[in-house]
Chain A
Amino acid sequence: MAMSKRRRAIMFRRAQYALLIVIVALIAVFADWEDIRRSFFNVDTAAKMFPTVIQTALVNTIIYSAFGFAIGLGLGLLLALMKLSPVAPWRWIATAYIEFFRGVPALLVFVALSVAVPLAFGLKFDINSTAGLALGIVGSAYIAETIRAGILAVPKGQIEAARSLGMSPGRTLVTVTIPQAFRIILPPLTNELIMLIKDSSLISVVGLTAADYELTKFGRETLSRSPSLTPLLVAGLCYLIITLPLGHLSRHLEKRTGGRKIGTPESTGLGVSA
């Protein structure tokens, strides 16, 4: 008795649901719920983490990320403009920087800034500067490429209109090209911010005092005192409090600016060329 293709597809889908139900049922019956609850979600441990996890750890994570993103944006914009410069050496320097910092682990940069640079130059950064600089230096390498793509995606006609109204190349860049580029790259830029927030956990390689703990370090410290997964779960949830809305925002912006894809053929020129 030959089954139709369509019928076979329906049967196959039903079989998958059945399998899932069996697996869930087995887990429900055989798992040691008490044990799981103790290791994953120990209410006492979780309760003890509050309010420090918010007041110190979450706040520090946000502060480090904000510093890092601000520096990353500034440096990234500078690098993007250097890469688009008609002056070749600027392009070479920017390319070298971008390739270097995209190619080495971010952790290395954190160690360098917290240990090597202070040793070599006799400088001492406070913790916000170290975190901000390290995150900014690494982040800018990625952000620069995004901004560059955004600038190139601004339609040539916009720049020609500005120039034909008598705006100088610099004025055009500031008044037309950069504002439009940022509108175009808002979605990928939001993703870069999310990456940067997650990378802020790397600061824990720099021996921190308790007041400087960010989420990951705070989670690990709590973990060493009460060995269960709970502290990490709480820390993880705190990250999600920031990153989920950002991810949502990014997708929303993507939809809103939809249709304008970076690197379309019509995209050209920069307000810098005559």
Chain B
Amino acid sequence: MKSSDVVTDVAVEITGLKKSFGPLEVLKGIDVSVARGEVVCIIGPSGSGKSTLLRCVNLLEEPTDGKIVVNGVELTDPDCDIDAARTRIGMVFQGFNLFSHLSVLNNLTVAQRKVLKRGEKQAQEIALRNLERVGLSEKVNAMPAQLSGGQQQRVAIARALSMDPSVMLFDEPTSALDPELVGDVLGVMRALADEGMTMLVVTHEMQFAREVADRVLFMDGGYVVEEGPAAQVIGDPQHERTKSFLARVLDPTHQGPSA
């Protein structure tokens, strides 16, 4: 389905995005543009709408208003084939969400075969190649429950990569992991960024954002309050709310009651 992609320098274009859950307006007008190959990290306090924004990008949440264009395809167009568009947008969840009834290999091949209609052999080859990329070739026949959290998350990344996405979305991919497992997952993501993958990453890992992100967005109360290069937003924040958030995150002893 590569041919359906319009080749542009813009991978994701979000304009005037609003999202309400009943009376609660969570996103109050977001404009974000992500260039091809760019890595954008989204930071912000709990409840600020980071996950909701990310989930709107592949329409897991239906926007209330606004326009979302990915790879030149307008997802918010009622006539858009959302299932086809999603095959090109990889998503990695905080809770891994590996199919618990399928082996690692089948987790990686099931959508390739049933959605992309790839043959068994081709799907397996692609799966094995991506498992190798995340350093888990030896787990090919394991069941998800037999893996550590870090391993599950790396398999989840390999599963998304097996669809040949052009954009990858990560929603706090390391938040559910024991500290000693975080490094492996971040390492895989770093390698992916180096290979030129377009990535939107919601994260609390400031070190990762600082080193890997081309751009950092700070969200609060349903708005993008501040954005810019990582060094600027994290190193020298301009906005009061960004400053207090970073002070809480970077120095846990200053933790406020809401942190």
On A, residues with C-beta under 8 Å from B are 155, 157-158, 160-168, 171, 175-176, 179-180, 183, 274
Answer yes or no: B115 CB below 8 A from chain A CBs: yes
**Chain B residue with the shortest CB-CB distance to A274:** B62
- The verdict on B159 contacting chain A, using a C-beta distance below 8 Å, is yes
Could you give 18 example pairs across A and B, Cβ below 8 Å?
A155-B97, A160-B60, A160-B93, A161-B91, A161-B99, A161-B156, A164-B90, A164-B160, A165-B86, A165-B87, A166-B84, A166-B85, A166-B87, A167-B83, A167-B111, A167-B115, A171-B115, A175-B114
Question: Which of B86, B91, B98, B100 has the most CB atoms of chain A within a 10 A radius of its CB?
Answer: B100
A79 to chain B, nearest CB (A): 23
With contacts A160-B60, A164-B58 known, is A180 near B100, CB below 8 A? yes
Given A165-B111, A166-B115, A171-B115, verify A158-B87 contact (CB < 8 Å): no
A-B pair number, CB within 8 angstroms: 63
Q: Does B101 make an interface contact (CB < 8 A)?
A: yes
- Return the chain B residue nearest A159 by Cβ: B97
- Residues of B within 8 Å of A180, CB to CB, are 99-101
Please name all residues of chain B whose beta carbon is closer than 8 Å to the beta carbon of A168 when the two chains form the complex: 83
- Nearest chain A residue, comparing its CB with the CB of B86: A166
Residue total for B at the interface (Cβ-Cβ under 8 A): 28
B89 at interface by CB-CB < 8 Å? yes
Q: How far is the CB of B188 from chain A (nearest CB, A)?
A: 18
How far, in angstroms, from A195 to B228 measured CA to CA in the complex? 66
Complex Cα spacing A157 to B144, Å: 14
Is residue B110 within 8 Å, beta carbon to beta carbon, of the partner chain?
yes
Whether B97 contacts A161 by the Cβ 8 Å rule is yes
Interface centre among B62, B83, B90 (most CB of A within 10 A): B83
Quick one: given A160-B97, A176-B99, are A171 and B60 in contact (CB under 8 Å)?
no
**Which of A160, A166, A176 has most chain B Cβ within 10 Å?**
A166
Q: Give the CA-CA distance A179 to B85 in the complex, in Å.
A: 26
In the assembled complex, which residues on chain B have CB atoms less than 8 Å from the CB atom of A167?
83, 111, 114-115
Q: List the B residue with the shortest CB-CB distance to A183.
A: B101
Chain A min CB distance to B72 (Å): 17
| Bound-state Cα–Cα, A180 to B102, Å | 10
Interface flag for B95 (CB, 8 Å): yes
Say how far B199's CB is from chain A's closest CB, in angstroms. 15
Complex formed: what's the CA distance from A160 to B99 in Å?
11
Chain B proximity of A174: nearest CB distance (Å): 9
B97 touches A157 (CB 8 A): yes
Contact with A along B71-105 (1 / 0, CB 8 A): 00000000000011111011101010111110000
